[in-house]
Amino acid sequence: MHLLHRGPRRATHTGVARRTAGLVAVLTTATLLAACGPAIDSGGDEPDESTAAGDPDVLQAPTEESPSGEITIWDRSGDLYEVFDAAIAAFNEKYPDITVNHEAVDIDAKLQNTLITGTDVPDGVFLDDAKVAGFADYLWDLGSVLEPYVGDIAQQKVDVNSLDGGIYGVPFDLDPGLLYYNATALEAAGVDATAIESYDDLLEAARQYKAAVPDAGPIHLEQSAFLGQLQLEMYASQLGTSLADENGELRIASPEYEQILTFLDTVQREGLGTRAEYLSQSDVGALESGKQVFYPWAIWFNFAPQQQLTETQGDWRAMPLPAWSEGGARSGAMGGSSFVLPRDGENSELAWLFYEFLMFDEAGYTAVYGPNDVYPDGLNTSIPAYEPAADPARPLFGPLDALGGQDLWTVAVEAGQEIPGGTPTPAWWAGAVDYLGNNVQRMLDGAMTPQEVMEQSAADIQANLVDRQ
């Protein structure tokens, strides 16, 4: 998954709801495991002395010329399972003596008890970045095996997998935030979307569109408290911040969050937004009717024009997010997944070879992201976290007809390069929705100010979540 991954083969609103519920379960489980995981004292982009050979918690790569054995790999059922399954044949061309037992598993339901009991532990697991902190006590520190690659991995992905100087996940995808817009509707209203460079520009473009289409609410305002908080973190990522720093200290009451919340409050107060839950019936209706024409979201929003927006399919385009200030980052991260290797797995070092091939070998990442039976034009709902694979000049997926033939690869890769570094997702993130997520919705109801959202949310999260860990 990416967090809330949307593949073009998953088109129904029921599927969207199921995946949303899955992400809630992911983050809730991470909260329950907080006591099991190590303290989040520091992050890092480079392995430290703990990666020295001989450290029992640090995985070492196999040294045999022709390694052999069996590995058990867990993935969720669905499109990505099929993509990874198809890539096994390419892996076996390089490692013919390693047998991959690839299992479709309800990871959220099984992994916690499996790791705690130590029974039938898999060698490798596909895991949401948000869950790494909660499970790290059971995982191999991958700093040593990742050392040859870490300098070429998107910094944000290294940071979210780093705890106490170790790196606990092999980064998979990068999910840059983009501004999707209905180019046809905007052009008809005389609004030049390509001139948008800042959030002030976005507000002005929305005002112009509303003047031409009076019943429009041009900018998407997320109505789900959970997804609204996730989108809020995308905006915060652009500004190089997040709910907590690498030491777990809250930083909600800050100029950065005030800027974001003031923007959202302005959209609501001026009637420039359509408030709806992501791809709900009311959301799709507003998108199809041309009332909602700007959608700041992760790259995986392209699922909508590919599958759900049948009336406006081909009208949509994507561009980098607007900047919060002149020269500021034009993207932020919204979701992501990695691969982890449990320490109780029987052949963890062989599982490392599997993930090394998929993510860092050209034959492997081409098999994953390039055209295949699952995605005939290539996997286009994220981009690789490994920068040599995310080469603007060498696209792994093709132009999208649903975006009018736009070269989304180049747009997304260039946006991904602007994402600032990050921090591990705190284990209490899901619990924060009861405070921050809900308070943002109260602000959009007109019941709270941005300052009240920051102050009240920070106080409640500190007292009810952070102090009780």
Scanning 239-336, the segments in alpha helix (DSSP H) are 255-269, 281-288, 303
Over its C-alpha atoms, the chain yields an Rg (Å, rounded) of 22
- The per-residue DSSP string of 214-267 comes to TT---EEEE--HHHHHHHHHHHHHHTT--SB-TTS-B--SSHHHHHHHHHHHHH
Q: Can you tell me the distance from the alpha carbon of 112 to that of 430, in angstroms, rounded to the nearest whole number?
A: 17
C-alpha pair distances (Å), 28 with each of 31, 107, 112, 336, 432: 5, 13, 12, 17, 10
pLDDT tens figures, 184-224? 999 999 999 999 999 999 999 999 999 999 999 999 999 99
**Res 54: pLDDT:** 62
* pLDDT (0 to 100) of residue 409: 98
pLDDT at residue 48 tops 70: no
Task: Report whether 241 contacts 259 (CB < 8 A).
Answer: no
Q: What band does 36 get if pLDDT is binned at 50, 70 and 90?
A: very low
Phi/psi of residue 308, each to 5°?
-105, -30
Specify the pLDDT at position 209. 98
User: Mind listing the pLDDT tens digit for each residue in 147-194?
Assistant: 999 999 999 999 999 988 899 999 999 999 999 999 999 999 999 999
The average pLDDT across 333-346 equals 96
Give pLDDT, residue 35. 32
Of 43 and 439, the one with more pLDDT = 439
445: exposed, middle or buried (C-beta count within 10 Å: 0-12, 13-18, 19+)?
Answer: exposed
In this model, does residue 50 exceed pLDDT 70?
Answer: no
Domains 13-175+338-408 and 177-332+428-466 share a fold: yes
pLDDT of amino acid 56 = 86
Backbone angles phi and psi of 389, in degrees to 5: -80, -30
Instruction: Tell me what pLDDT residue 53 has.
Output: 54
Q: Note the pLDDT of residue 219.
A: 98
pLDDT in tens, 58-92: 999 999 999 999 999 999 999 999 999 999 999 99
Joined together, the tokens standing for residue 127 give 């895991």
pLDDT computed for residue 51 by the predictor: 40
Looking at the predicted structure, is the pLDDT value of residue 136 above 80? yes
Q: Report the amino acid identity of residue 12.
A: T
Averaged pLDDT, 369-383 = 94
* 223 residue type, one letter: Q
Residue-level pLDDT at 299:
98
Which class does domain 177-332+428-466 fall in? alpha beta
Q: What mean pLDDT is predicted for residues 375-403? A: 96
Domain ranges within the chain, ordered by starting residue? 13-175+338-408, 177-332+428-466
Q: pLDDT-derived band of residue 5, with 50, 70 and 90 as boundaries?
A: very low
Q: What whole-number percentage of the chain has pLDDT above 70?
A: 88
Average of per-residue pLDDT across 300-304: 95
Superfamily for domain range 13-175+338-408: Periplasmic binding protein-like II (3.40.190.10)
Per-residue pLDDT band for 132 (boundaries 50, 70, 90) equals confident
Is the pLDDT score of 283 beyond 90? yes
Q: By percentage, how much of the chain surpasses pLDDT 90?
A: 82
pTM (predicted TM-score): 0.86
